[in-house]
Amino acid sequence: MEFKDYYQVLGVDRDASQDDIKRAYRKLARKYHPDVSKEADAEERFKEAGEAYEVLKDPEKRAAYDQLGSRWQSGQDFRPPPDWDAGFEFSGGGFTDRDAGAFSDFFEELFGGRGRRSSHFHTHRGARGEDHHAKILIDIEDAYRGASRVITLQVPEVDSQGRVRTRDHSLRVNIPKGIAPGQQIRLAGQGGRGLGQGEAGDLYLEVHFRPHSFYRLEGRDIYLDLPVAPWEAALGETVKVPTPDGMVDLKIPAGSSSGKQLRLKGRGLPGKSPGDMYVVVQVALPPADTDEARELYRKMSQKMAFNPRAKLGV
């Protein structure tokens, strides 16, 4: 998939005002409207201009797109990073279900899940503010114990010149124990302002876990590769094992080989049905970096009748 430069599509500078963007779009829309244009690619150009305008007219989408676009050029092979929109609030964008399929795969990849606007109008009170959406990155340990974190979101605003700028908006968020990736935290009243006497919308934070240096998560189960010495694996030994909730003692059965999984029941993500933790044995060889160590390895090779390739018929 290629990266689309929406500023290039509309023929405006990256610091163009909202009025400049609107004028550029209207000019292109008149020029390439399929009902009046004679050019062969009029319909495609008309759709491209509409898609570019859908993003750049919306301060929230434009600010997020600008952050992403600072690392890409038009036509480059592109796949959005998983956290490209972390820290940004989105309130939808204005296109509806009837527009599905009108935009490119590039647009759908970036905004498809959050482009649909919901309406909450109360004619006698005004209009409810829109719900906003953002990502929040937490550590695995936060999900085990619960936590309180101050997060800073980038909130787009249009300045007096009609240009989009961002300001920092800090909030304290309580991370509930047992939350899993993909779940949302709702902050009531922290979304868009209501019109008239309408109440404010809500802010929904979609939870994502930061990559961990040694834990990995599969559903609600957690996995840990545990290095053990050859004699611990061969003879059996009780060793200390880290978990996101603290150290535990684990018995390594005698004769364990690399890849053996040991289950710690209920030590995965907490919850009504907690996950399990799986410790995967990885036999680690001591380095042969001294004369004494090399001599020990030579003695082992002479005294132990061991052929690691016997199962291969070698």
Percent of the chain past pLDDT 70, that is, above it, reads 82
Res 99 pLDDT > 60: no
Enumerate domains of the chain plus CATH numbers: 215-312 (2.60.260.20)
Residue 42 phi, psi (nearest 5): -60, -45
Structure tokens at 271: 């919850």
pLDDT at 74: 64
Is 295 exposed, middle or buried, given 0-12, 13-18 or 19+ CB atoms closer than 10 A? exposed
pLDDT grade for 133, boundaries at 50, 70 and 90 = confident
The amino acid at residue 241 is: V
φ, ψ for residue 175 (rounded to 5)? Answer: -90, 110
Q: Which of 34-48, 176-190, 217-231, 269-283 has the lowest mean pLDDT?
A: 34-48
Q: Taking all residues of the chain, what is their mean pLDDT, rounded to a whole number?
A: 83
Per-residue pLDDT band at 124 (split at 50, 70, 90): very low
> What is the rounded end-to-end Cα distance, in angstroms, of the chain?
48
Cα Dmax for the chain: 92
Q: Are 1 and 104 in contact (CB under 8 A)?
A: no
* Spatial strand order in the sheet of 203-209: 132-138, 203-209, 184-187
pLDDT band at 126 (very low <50, low <70, confident <90, very high): low
Contact predicate 186/115, CB 8 Å = no
| pLDDT tens string 26-76 | 999 889 988 888 888 888 889 889 989 988 988 878 887 887 765 666 656
Q: What is the pTM of this model?
A: 0.60
Is the pLDDT at 96 greater than 50, yes or no?
Answer: no
Helix (H, G, I), strand (E, B) or coil at 199: coil
Residue 64 sits at φ, ψ, to 5 deg, of -65, -45
Q: How far apart are CA 285 and CA 234, in angstroms?
A: 12
How many Cβ atoms are within 10 Å of 305's Cβ, its own excluded? 5
